[in-house]
Amino acid sequence: MNNVDLSTILINETWKPISGSFIREDWARIKNALKSYIIDKESHLIESNSGDTEWTELEQYKTITRDIECFLLGDDHDGFGYRHF
């Protein structure tokens, strides 16, 4: 499946769907951009000795990245839909 229906993707926990669809390569680019952002943000948080609030916010980006990997790209699934742990 190359196209993903975004009608089930939620924005800012408001439970409102967004429209459009992205192909697998788009999701891979989004995932890579998020990973790059996370690495840069972690470095900044360490350097600035940030508190729990900032680290908790960053966890949301990590969760989104894992969701993209697991549910949209299926990077950890075999050809039969089973996850590998």
Given its phi and psi angles, is residue 10 left (phi above 0), alpha (psi -120 to 50 degrees) or beta? beta
Per-residue pLDDT for 22 more than 50? yes
- pLDDT tens figures, 42-80: 999 999 999 999 999 999 999 999 888 887 777 555 444
Q: What angle do CA 4, 5, 8 make, to 5 degrees?
A: 120
User: What pLDDT score was predicted for residue 14?
Assistant: 53
DSSP 8-class letter at 81: S
What is the reported pTM? 0.61
- Kindly list the distances between the CA atom of residue 57 and the CA atoms of 53, 64, 72, 75, in Å, as whole numbers in the listed order: 6, 11, 22, 25
User: Quick one: tokens of 18?
Assistant: 């967004």
